[in-house]
Amino acid sequence: MAQTKKLLRTLNGERLDVPPIWMMRQAGRYLPEYKATRAQAGDFLSLCYNPDLAAEVTLQPIRRYGFDAAILFADILLVPQALGADLWFVTGEGPRLSTITSADDFAKLKPASDIHEVLSPIYETVRILSRELPPETTLIGFAGAPWTVATYMIAGRGTPDQGPAHALRQEDTATFEALLDRITEATIDYLSMQIEAGAEVVKIFDSWAGSLKGDAFRKYALEPAKKITAALKAKHPGIHVIAFPREAGENYIGFAKEVGADCLALDNSVDADWAAKHLQVDGCVQGNLAPGHMVTGGKALIDETRRIVKAFSGGPHIFNLGHGITPDADPANVQLMIDTVRENAS
């Protein structure tokens, strides 16, 4: 069955007349059924750590829309929590963490090998999904990239420019790099356990890669992704990896090839025609409809969806958004997007 799954065929380099579709944050706050399940869980972290409910919200968009892939419902900040950071969510404001800003703070973190007790419910969610997903649906696991995870651990929250992380890497490079190495080791272990539990593809989300410039991009975005990918492929031959260095711009060029990733996910700041010319030449690309179309819908959604499908029609392409769907999106617009992508399907 694996060889007939559209997403896996595309990751193997096959060009399909109708690209497979999934959507970042497809299990989430824009769906009424998700809101009901989250209310049942009590809060966001309780939902992440409840395997039955986390599996349920992962399955909801598959039942509703028939996406070609399901992505595990979890959060990139579970790894810092498993390493010993305090983590909580403030309603309407997002995550908060205890900060790592010195060697003394770093010394309090657990070894990477000690994360699995905290994260064991996540692996159980993957096992449930591997049993319950439709046979044609690919299961994607994921983790945050070391740089992006580090920005939250250093600042204690999301920031507009990742300034605290940039300051630490410049002022205390040894502590910063030790933190990145610890996150990298933990990410390899975490994704490896997801694969053993049943994930067929893993995605590395580097949401803040675009704020790294020059040599820093290579050292702190590309190299960790390369190390993670190589370790996973050595331990799990045949596993597929999607890399997403968001807002990398020109640094997207050659990224997947050098990292060893099977697909390069693109944000919507890059033009699809440019990406087809400069990025798809190396293999599969994923993206890159602007999430705002899921709010506004209409002719603009249809036209832009068609334009992206056409631009990437010459090679392997997974249709997706350029970033996660937002809570104010209209579920009907998601269906319109899917119907537009598949309008020529026989």
Q: How far is residue 122's CA from residue 82's CA, in Å, rounded to a whole number?
A: 11
Helix/strand/coil for 234:
helix
CB 321 within 8 A of CB 286: no
In a domain, 346, yes or no: no
Count up the domains in the chain and report the number.
1
pLDDT in tens, 134-189: 999 999 999 999 999 999 999 999 999 999 999 999 999 999 999 999 999 999 99
pLDDT at 71 over 60: yes
Q: Which of 30, 49, 68, 75 is catalytic?
A: 75
CB 308 within 8 A of CB 35: no
In a domain, 22, yes or no: yes
In a domain, 42, yes or no: yes
pLDDT at 346 over 60: no
Specify the pLDDT at position 148. Answer: 98
Q: If pLDDT is split at 50, 70 and 90, which confidence band does 129 have?
A: very high
The mean per-residue pLDDT over the stretch 39-63 comes to: 97
Q: How far is residue 285's CA from residue 306's CA, in Å, rounded to a whole number?
A: 16
Residue of 91 and 40 predicted with greater confidence:
40
In a domain, 137, yes or no: yes
Q: Which domain holds residue 253?
A: 2-341
Specify the pLDDT at position 92. Answer: 81
Q: Which of 25, 169, 182, 246 is catalytic?
A: 25
Q: Kindly state the greatest CA–CA separation across the chain.
A: 61
Whether the upstream peptide bond of residue 288 has omega within 30° of 0, thus cis, is yes
Residue of 331 and 92 predicted with greater confidence:
331
152 flagged as catalytic: yes
Q: If pLDDT is split at 50, 70 and 90, which confidence band does 66 have?
A: very high
Q: How far is residue 36's CA from residue 191's CA, in Å, rounded to a whole number?
A: 29
Give the CATH number, domain containing residue 92: 3.20.20.210
Specify the pLDDT at position 6. Answer: 98
The mean per-residue pLDDT over the stretch 239-255 comes to: 98
38 flagged as catalytic: yes
Q: Which of 15, 38, 64, 342 is catalytic?
A: 38
* DSSP sequence for 134-162: -TTPEEEEEEE-HHHHHHHHHHSS--SS-
pLDDT at 344 over 90: no
Specify the pLDDT at position 121. Answer: 98
Q: How far is residue 123's CA from residue 108's CA, in Å, rounded to a whole number?
A: 25
Specify the pLDDT at position 3. Answer: 65
In a domain, 300, yes or no: yes
29 flagged as catalytic: yes
Q: If pLDDT is split at 50, 70 and 90, which confidence band does 232 have?
A: very high
Q: Which of 9, 15, 29, 64 is catalytic?
A: 29
Specify the pLDDT at position 345. Answer: 63
pLDDT at 74 over 90: yes
Specify the pLDDT at position 91. Answer: 81
Q: Which of 30, 34, 123, 152 is catalytic?
A: 152
